[in-house]
């Protein structure tokens, strides 16, 4: 048998903003990221770059810096995987915000906070009526299930989602038929697709 080899590297980058990187205690600067990703894509069959968006302290300027870096990473050949921030109990970010500032949206859930009863279409969820009692219970107990909730839907989450859809990191709800095309984006679970060759040329 041959020696085992590394075929993939996954980088938890989270943000392209130095201010957010410092706030989240990542221990590196935005300028450190692309050179390392570039080297990794030359060596390994696949390189994944994970990003987090929707922090309550992430301004639109911070977010645009992240999107710019995500686009650059994608151009280097990395697979870019953004995730909407998921509030977890007892974490610093949750304790700073508090449950009273969180909003529930049954059509939009963080990627990892699903019950298995949702029907997905594009970036939106649909909840069947027979399962609505589950989400009623979640909605009524945000102190137990903060991961299903968002900070400032109208001012924080939805404007950023629109930008991510514009640049192809999430499929728009009105073009979900792309998933059936021969040149459909590659996706990783609930994460964003990697653009196909035709989309990159466009």
Q: Please report which confidence band the pLDDT of residue 182 belongs to, taking 50, 70 and 90 as the band edges.
A: very low
Q: Note whether residue 42 is domain-resident.
A: yes
If phi > 0 it is left, if psi is from -120 to 50 it is alpha, else beta; for residue 25 that is left
Q: Note whether residue 147 is domain-resident.
A: yes
Q: Note whether residue 3 is domain-resident.
A: no
Mean pLDDT along residues 14-29: 97
Q: Note whether residue 30 is domain-resident.
A: yes
pLDDT higher at 127 or 78 = 78
Q: Note whether residue 1 is domain-resident.
A: no
If phi > 0 it is left, if psi is from -120 to 50 it is alpha, else beta; for residue 105 that is beta
Tokens describing residue 108: 């939009």
Mean pLDDT along residues 113-121: 74
Predicted pLDDT at 135: 87
CA distance linking residue 139 with residue 189, whole number of Å: 25
Mean pLDDT along residues 7-24: 96
Q: From residue 161, give the alpha-carbon distance in Å to each of 28, 95, 145, 168, 169.
A: 26, 24, 22, 10, 9
Count of domains forming the chain: 1
If phi > 0 it is left, if psi is from -120 to 50 it is alpha, else beta; for residue 184 that is beta
- pLDDT tens, 119-128? 776 667 777 7
Residue 164 pLDDT > 80, yes or no? yes
Tokens describing residue 112: 């990892």
Predicted pLDDT at 202: 36
Report the candidate in 28, 25, 37 with the shortest Cα–Cα distance to residue 70.
37
Q: Note whether residue 43 is domain-resident.
A: yes
Report the candidate in 28, 18, 29, 86 with the shortest Cα–Cα distance to residue 55.
86
Predicted pLDDT at 172: 78
Predicted pLDDT at 175: 47
Mean pLDDT along residues 20-29: 96
Q: Note whether residue 2 is domain-resident.
A: no
List the domain range (segments joined by +) for residue 81. Answer: 8-201
Tokens describing residue 68: 């710019």
Residue 111 neighbours by CB under 8 Å, 6+ apart? 83, 84, 86, 189, 190, 191
CA distance linking residue 99 with residue 146, whole number of Å: 7
Mean pLDDT along residues 51-76: 97
CATH of the domain at 23: 3.30.750.200
Q: Note whether residue 28 is domain-resident.
A: yes
């Amino acid at each position: 048998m041959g020696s085992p080899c590394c075929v993939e590297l996954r980088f938890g980058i989270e943000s392209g903003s130095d201010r957010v990187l410092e706030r989240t205690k990542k221990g590196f600067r935005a300028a450190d990221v692309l050179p390392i990703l570039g080297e990794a894509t030359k060596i390994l069959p696949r390189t994944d770059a994970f990003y987090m968006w929707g922090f309550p302290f992430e301004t639109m300027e911070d977010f645009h810096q992240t999107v710019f870096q995500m686009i650059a990473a994608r151009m280097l050949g990395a697979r870019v995987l953004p995730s909407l921030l998921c509030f977890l109990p007892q974490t610093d970010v949750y304790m700073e915000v508090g449950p009273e500032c969180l909003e529930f949206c049954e059509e939009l859930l963080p990627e990892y906070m699903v019950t298995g009863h949702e029907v997905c279409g594009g970036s939106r969820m649909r909840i069947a009526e027979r399962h609505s009692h589950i989400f009623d219970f979640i909605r009524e107990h945000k102190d137990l299930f903060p991961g299903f909730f968002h900070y400032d839907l109208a001012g924080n989450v939805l404007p950023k989602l629109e930008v991510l859809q514009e640049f192809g990191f999430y499929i728009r709800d009105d073009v979900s038929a792309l998933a059936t095309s021969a040149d459909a984006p590659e996706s990783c679970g609930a994460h964003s697709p990697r653009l196909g060759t035709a989309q990159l040329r466009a």
